[in-house]
Structure 1
Amino acid sequence: MLESKSKTRNAFTLVELLVVIAIIGVLVGLLLPAVQAAREAARRMQCSNNLKQIGLAAMNYESTFRVMPPRRNMHSGSRRGWGPTILPYIEQAALQGDYRFDKDFYAPENEKNIAIALPLFLCPSGTGARNVTVIQNGITSEGKAGDYFGPNSFRSDLYGTASLSGNNKITAMDDLPRFRKLAHITDGLSNTMLITEQAGRADFYIRGRMQPNNSGLSQAASWGSWPSYQVFQVQIAGADGITRDGPGGSCTINCNNSQGIYSFHPGGAYAVFVDGSVHFLNESLDAEVLISLITINGHEVISQEF
């Protein structure tokens, strides 16, 4: 009499394998958004910290000289932005020691300085340490981009070229030879923006999309230069993110990175205020509130959370 022998199976069937693969695919699909969200949360925290450190550096500068750092020096032969000015207060004293303040930021003597990528001036949600080419007065220099800029004015069809205070250029920092004192900021330090995001240069972005060319982008510059030779306005844009439409427009934050507040964070952008506090500005921010936060002496009552 023959006895049957049981056979031990050592492998999956095709159906079982397909089921396992499907389950793994579902789990990855569920986990990937969570991982991406966690990474963006970490990047947002780092960006906020960058602006916090920049704000503290500006206030330490003010404590030393009793004036705010100059937004830009327009004098021929020593043109520059606020970046080189605060280097000693962001633990970059050695770099400032090499920077020639008696030369333009794009001069050959300073090119090696502005070609250094400083992580503090770059938002980690952006596109990395980008190279920018600066062409000024027949001189071409290479530098590294910066993602944080100080506005010097705004423009909106809601108010034309006049702000609520009657002057659209009264902002937290001023251009040499003028100086901005804290006493001039009568709207309150916690209600006045100092530095905002304007990320992604030297590429041109409109509402999250990189454009095929940079023809609509105001000239890019390094962290050492902006806005030394070019106006950085906060412009209220239309629904397309670039053109100005009707009174007030309909886009205030993350419209485009040519003129305005722009980031790669979903839903808004960060700004540091004169008191050192950092706020996330929602894309739904009202144009009138945004303009009120830019000027220093409009005496507006800000009723909307920003």
Structure 2
Amino acid sequence: MTKRSGFTLIELLVVIAIIAILIGLLLPAVQKVREAAARMTCQNNLKQLGLAAHNYEGAMGQFPAGATQNASQWAFSFQAQLLPHVEQDNLRKLVDFTQAITLGSGGSQTLNPVHATPAKSPVGLFLCPSDAGPVLYQNNSADWTPNNYMVNMGTGVTVQSLANANDGIVWYTSKLRITDVTDGTSNTLLMAEALRGNNIQTEPASAPIDPLRQYASFGGQGALLDEATCATATRWAGNRGRSWLWGREFNVCFTTTHRPNQRAADCARSGAGFYKAASAHTGGVNVLLCDGSVRFVRDAAWRAASTRSSGEVPGEF
């Protein structure tokens, strides 16, 4: 009689348990490899934007303004002006810079129909692969595609709007050259990443659903915002980085009022306010300096690095 060999039930369970343990050990390693690759892609995106900004400055004699102004409308972003320098000339041709981006008066959020196609056209270079935020936003029946890479609007301490000159790199009518960055291009931030909003507006609410993806939103005009005012908020907006095309502060800018990834919610009134740099990377954010280099910043000397001519020496990031 032939004796058949095989696994006992206990042996089978032991093998399954070992496999489960191995998978449990392997998955975090795979996730770390994926995040490392995503972080490198994010850094490369910023390097490409830095090269584009330098090419623009060389061709035009100045960095792009924070946003173009046309017929007193909020208009086209720093990022949109870089399109010809990031191999997006076909998309650039769809943008009619001679027509206002919005209809209505002041800060209207009604998209001019002539810009409907570029507004909803995604640009992979403007998106961090680690951010799982929305890839399409709707507002007043218009579609907008988002942006993760924000340009430096300074500290946000005394100037909180693109409408006025600030201590950073951009405002609406800025015409800064590299030579205006007297703190040194290797010591001054040009761009940094931020998490896209969660596309949710909550009101009334005493706290945001996610302080990294929503900010306190106040209507009307008023004095400079501060922590005490922001603590009274009951309306929270989730439209951070909603559009790479539209040059509003919440879409395309950051300030260093808050530290990177600080859990305190940002705060704004009619666009003006402060907006932090933030990321889905562990422990910090990727930043682009004015010399075109990219670094991963945790916290050190954060506010000093946003000013272009204040005489600080930020030291090592």
Q: CA deviation at 1:217?
A: 3.0
Give runs of aligned pairs for residues 120-269 of structure 1, distance below 5 A: 120-127=125-132, 130-134=135-139, 141-155=142-156, 160-161=157-158, 169-176=166-173, 178-203=174-199, 206=210, 215-217=235-237, 219-220=239-240, 221-227=242-248, 232-236=254-258, 241-242=263-264, 259-269=275-285
| Counterparts of 1:223 and 1:148, CA distance in 2 | 9
SS of aligned partner of 1:271: strand
Partner Cα separation in structure 2 for residue 92 and residue 114 of structure 1: 14
How far did 1:183 drift?
1.5
Over alpha carbons, which structure has the higher Rg? 1
Contact 2:146 2:244 in 1 (8 A): yes
Q: Which residue of 1 aligns with 2:76?
A: 80
Q: CA RMSD in A?
A: 3.0
Which whole-Å CA distance do the structure 1 matches of 2:74 and 2:29 have between them? 48
Match of 1:279 among 291, 295, 305: 295
* Contact 2:187 2:313 (C-alpha < 8 Å) held by counterparts: no
Rounded to whole Å, the distance in 1 between the matches of 2:35 and 2:277 is 19
Q: Any idea what the Cα deviations from partners look like across 1:156-182, whole Å, max 9, x if unmatched?
A: xxxx5389xxx9922123322x31111
Which residue of structure 1 aligns with residue 305 of structure 2? 293
Partner of 2:55: 60
Are residues 134 and 184 of structure 1, via their aligned partners in 2, closer, same or farther at CA, if it must alter by over 3 Å?
Answer: farther
Instruction: Tell me by how many angstroms 1:235 deviates.
Output: 2.4
Partner Cα distance (1:228, 1:79) in 2: 11
> 1:302 Cα deviation (Å)?
2.0
Give the match's secondary structure for 2:236. coil
How far off its partner does 1:234 sit?
3.0
1:100 to 71, 96, 99: 96
| Closer, same or farther: CA 203–134 of 1 in aligned 2, 3 Å | closer
Q: Percent identity?
A: 32
What displacement does 1:102 show? 1.5
Say if 1:194 and 1:272, in contact at 8 Å, map to a contact too.
Answer: yes
Partner letter of residue 199 of structure 1?
L
Secondary structure of the structure 2 residue equivalent to 1:150: strand
Q: Which amino acid aligns with 2:314?
A: I
Contact 1:131 / 1:202 at 8 angstroms: preserved in 2?
no
Deviations 1:193-220 (A, max 9, x none): 1111012224477466x67x99423744
Given the superposition, is the C-alpha separation of residues 8 and 219 from structure 1 closer, same or farther in structure 2, using an over 3 Å criterion?
A: closer
| Contiguous gaps of at least 5 residues in structure 2 | 102-110, 201-208, 218-234, 267-273
Aligned residues: 269
Write the letter of the residue equivalent to 1:300. E
5+ unaligned residues in a row in structure 1: which ranges? Answer: 245-257
Residue 123 (structure 1) shift: 0.2
Pick which of 85-94 and 144-153 moved more.
144-153
CA contact (8 A) 1:114 1:224 kept: yes
Letter in 2 for 1:127: A
Equivalent residue in structure 1 for 2:286, among 251, 270, 273: 270
Pairwise CA distance, 1:271: 0.8
